[in-house]
Structure 1
Amino acid sequence: MTRTLARTAAIAVAVLALALPGGALAAPPVPTITERQTLPAGDGWASAEGGTTGGADAAPGDVHDVSTRPELIAALAASGDAPSIIRVHGSIPMNADEDGEPITCEEIAEGTGYDLDAYLEAYDPETWGTDREPEGEQEDARAAAAQRQRALIQVDVPAHTTIIGAEPGAGLVGASLSIRGVDDVIIRNLVLADTYDCFPAWDPTDGAEGNWNSEYDSVRIVDGATHVWVDHNAFTDAPMTDDQLPTYFGRTFQRHDGALDVTNGSDLVTVSWNTFRDHDKLTLVGSTDSPDRGDPGHLRVTFHHNLYDGVGQRAPRVRFGQVDVYNNSYVIREDQVVGFGYLMGVGYGSHLRIESNAVDTGGVVEAGSLISVLKGTEVSARDNLVDHRRVDLRAAYNAGRPAAEQLTEDTSWEPALRSCRDRVQQVAGVVGAWSGPRFGAAPGRIGADCRS
């Protein structure tokens, strides 16, 4: 069948789906998600300037099946700079020993001298105070234990690599995939669960009441990495969500950091068809207001067709970059396990386009609270739905604020890489139906001729 006939057939099936009783979504018979798929042309920033192919050209000997942490580490090292494909089977714990058996935080810390009770006693604000950061024996021991965990869970992903879930439920528990200074990486079809820091650091000088600070993002795109496609994954803190964490010194003993960050001059990234659930601080694009990290002129990132369900903030929070946020679905819940802060953060030097997204506030917040201004001055926010009604999010933010605090319209650039765009009225339905890992029939959909 020619490409034209195939497309005509897919559209015909999509039209028939619109007539199903109750407006149900139906999946046309389109190809499955496969390990050698590349990012389609025109699909977000990662398709620009040569595109993203990951391990599509891997030789048979550079295709690896892994089901334990040691197998994953060996597979990542095996192919060197050659294209490689890593197929993940089962749920792999990364806090694990050399045999791949899970180990506890206490076992990781053995021999370092770190003890949580001793740490709490040493740096209790009642005795340590609140005007200086911890130092001394227990802080040194905590740092040593943290280095041991980092060696277990932070995994460097080489250039020209595809990591893909091979079966339902496949993924990594407690992992931090580090795409650092390399080009051409694809991460697909994985459950990325509970990336947790065993050894959070107490900082009494952080904010008015101090804070516990953790490290590790489930995916970190950093140090000038380029051409990265993160697609059809599920990000979650489960099974250890924030509502289960203890409180010390009046603050949550926070074990989770970001879900997916893009920082330090990284560029040309597409984040599509993922689910983000029950997580607080999701995505930084740009980690500092200082231009010294190489961010200006980079940080071009597209977020489309992602589901954000019960999340806290940074969906995303942007500095410097040209960031396209369109066709995403946001669900805010009164009973969500993390407190709601905001959705999109307009940070220093940011050029953020927020268009054709659907937000269900659950009656929790007003439209004017969905954007947070964090030293930014301009934004474009068009054609968005809030509780099924079109709302100008920029106008909603500006309402009642003095002129000096209002956001102006960002006209500095116009997104062009949107080969896959749905009418905003369809966004919640199609994203809810087709985001996250997919197996069997791939997510052909109603609406635009838009396939993931």
Structure 2
Amino acid sequence: MAVASHRRSLRTRRTLVVSAAVVAAGVGAGAIVMSANAGTVDLYHQTLAAKDGWASSGTGTTGGTKADAAHTFTVSTRAELVKALGSASDTTPRIVKIKGTIDANTNDAGKKLTCADYASGTGYSLSAYLKAYDPATYGRSKLPSGTQEKARAAAQTKQAKNIVFRVPANTTIVGVPGTNAGLTGAMLQIQNVDNVIVRNLAFSATEDCFPQWDPTDGDDGNWNSNYDSVTLRGATHVWADHNTFTDAPHFDNVNPKYYGREYQIHDGALDITKSSDLVTVSRNVFNCHDKTMLIGSSDSEPSGKLRVSIHHNVWKGIVQRAPLTRVGQVHIYNNYYDVAALNGYTVQYSINSRAKAQVVAENNYWKVPSSVKVAKLLSGDGTGAVKGSGNLVNGTVTDLVAAYNAASSKDLKTSVNWTPTLTSGLESSAKDLPTSLSTTTGAGVLK
């Protein structure tokens, strides 16, 4: 017995030593918890590493790592996911393992639901809506109101009840490796809660069946949709890591036009709004999307929040908002941007700094075709700042801010009011990012 006990103790010490060594390395992929039995990474109990971006500030981001067995779930259907998440006000630590792809547009029995199912019983029809609010007769000075707008809102509410999943505090949601884990047609809503981890999930086809017509939006009006794949609203300490976001299989170039404007069914991919704070977005793939990441929903959001770190992500086929930043202190580093047109998605800009945002953009890599001017990679309203350094365009160090300011009447400011210190894993050169990030980002990489 004494010999057996000694051997078990020795194995335990070896495991702890390995864990401590990996954690101390602080490589930016999150603290590592090793399994005492197999010596493999325990993906479900990983926490954000020290100094890995803004989400490591203060108490750090540990998600549901303290969950007991009763609050550890493996789910593969929409109904199981709803049950596992429980009440958004329940702060009990929980781990939710998603196995396979869950279709949010299904009922509790697993039956597929369509837009017609959500519209049923509300009185809404697209043809009636288009007739009621045709600018030629309704005008362009006010938002739609009346019978068909009420019916549209009712149908949208029915869809929201089915596809919006409210995430409570102290939660880790992770895709089970090797199962093509993900959510299709869904929105994870992380609202007014603290300490959430979302990892290893493929998000696709988050679509609004009932976009609203706004004739006052811009010169010609716009169709606006209502769901992001992941949305943070007043959330703090959130780590989004190794996920994939895409519009596939329905790309924007097949959207019809009504009133001369695109009938847009997609909103954001990962939006960080309503004074959310202390967020790290790492090693994700953003693919084929228009309004991709919004940081701050209004130019009038209060200062002191919206502190976000964005590193080691891949952006391909992105039109805009990669990200659009307002108000906060945002660190954008070691990302790879391929801005060639893809599946009809053509770049407008990558990074937008407005409403006095304080952005530090360093050691990122842009692959830019000859058809795209370097001056188009940034954007702003004349009040935002971008402090840039070490950024490469097709392998050459390029002053992106100078290129933008030379072509714009609303210059970006070039100095910021803060210095990033939570920079574990920051690579001093961007030259290898196109290669290294091709195999280390997105869903399905973690084992």
Q: TM-score, normalised by structure 1?
A: 0.88
- Aligned residue for 1:330, secondary structure, equals strand
Q: CA deviation at 1:439?
A: 4.8
Distance 1:344 1:439, change over 3 A: closer
Deviates more, 1:316-325 or 1:30-39: 30-39
**Superposed counterparts of 1:422-433, under 5 Å:** 422=427, 423-433=429-439
Residue equivalent to 2:34: none
Q: Distance in 2 between the 1:256 and 1:85 partners?
A: 29
CA distance in 1, matches of 2:318, 2:341: 11
Using the TM superposition, name which of 131-140 and 309-318 deviates more. 131-140
2:229 aligned with 1:218? yes
| Residue 240 of structure 2 corresponds to residue 230 of structure 1 | yes
Instruction: Tell me, in whole angstroms, the C-alpha distance in 2 between the residues paired with 1:73 and 1:364.
Output: 46
* Matches of 1:273 and 1:113, distance apart in 2: 44
The 10-residue stretch of structure 1 (40-49 or 409-418) with the greater mean CA deviation from structure 2: 409-418
> Which residue does the alignment assign to 1:252?
262
The verdict on how the C-alpha distance between 1:266 and 1:6 changes in structure 2, with shifts beyond 3 A counting, is closer
8 A Cα contact 1:195 1:256, kept in partner: yes
Partner of 2:43, secondary structure, is coil
> In structure 1, how many angstroms separate the alpha carbons of the residues matched to 2:87 and 2:270?
26
- The change in CA–CA distance for 1:241 and 1:349 in structure 2 (over 3 A counts) is same
Shift of 1:401: 4.8
Change in Cα spacing, 1:106 to 1:254, as seen in structure 2 (3 Å) is same
The Cα offsets for residues 74-114 of structure 1, whole Å up to 9 and x where unpaired, read as: 00017932110001111111121121222000111100000
Is the 8 Å Cα contact of residues 306 and 435 (structure 1) preserved in structure 2?
A: yes
Asked whether the 8 Å contact 1:32–1:440 carries over to 2, the reply is: no
Shift of residue 408 of structure 1? Answer: 2.8
Match of 2:416 among 411, 415, 422: 411
Displacement after TM superposition at 1:379 (Å): 1.6
Q: Is residue 2:441 matched to residue 1:435? A: yes
- Per-residue CA distance 1:180-218 (angstroms, 9 max, x = gap): 111100000001111110000111221111111111111
Partner residue in 1 for 2:211: 200
Determine which structure has greater relative contact order: mean sequence separation of CA pairs < 8 Å that are 6+ residues apart, divided by chain length: 1
Tell me by how many angstroms 1:33 deviates: 6.3
**Aligned residues: percent identity?**
45
- Distance between the aligned counterparts of 1:440 and 1:418, measured in 2? 22
Relative to structure 1, the CA distance from residue 340 to residue 100 in structure 2 (aligned partners, 3 Å threshold; closer, same or farther) is same
User: In the alignment, what sits opposite 2:318?
Assistant: 311
Within 5 A, what are the aligned runs for 1:383-402? 383-401=390-408
SS at match of 1:209: coil
CA distance in 1, matches of 2:315, 2:105: 27
SS at match of 1:179: strand
C-alpha separation in 1, matches of 2:412 and 2:320: 19
1:29-73 Cα deviation digits (max 9, x unpaired): x95461110001110000010100001111111110111111100
SS across alignment from 2:433 = helix
What CA distance in whole angstroms lies between the structure 1 residues aligned with 2:345 and 2:120?
Answer: 32
1:119 & 1:152 partners in 2: Cα distance?
Answer: 23
SS in 1 for 2:86: helix
User: Where does structure 2 lack aligned partners over 5 or more consecutive residues?
Assistant: 1-13, 26-38
1:421 equivalent among 415, 421, 426: 426
- Among 179, 197, 200, the residue aligned to 1:189: 200
Partners of 1:158 and 1:4 in 2: CA distance: 28
Count residues in correspondence: 416
Letter in 2 for 1:344: I
The Cα shift of 1:5 comes to 10
1:379 matched to 2:386: yes
Distance 1:355 1:396 in 2: 16
Q: Deviations over 1:122-145 (max 9, x none)?
A: 112222222222111111100110
Mapped partners of 2:446, 2:291: distance in 1: 32
Q: Is the 8 A contact 1:231 1:273 kept in 2?
A: yes
Deviation at 1:411, TM superposition (A): 3.4
Work out whether 1:297 is the aligned partner of 2:304.
yes
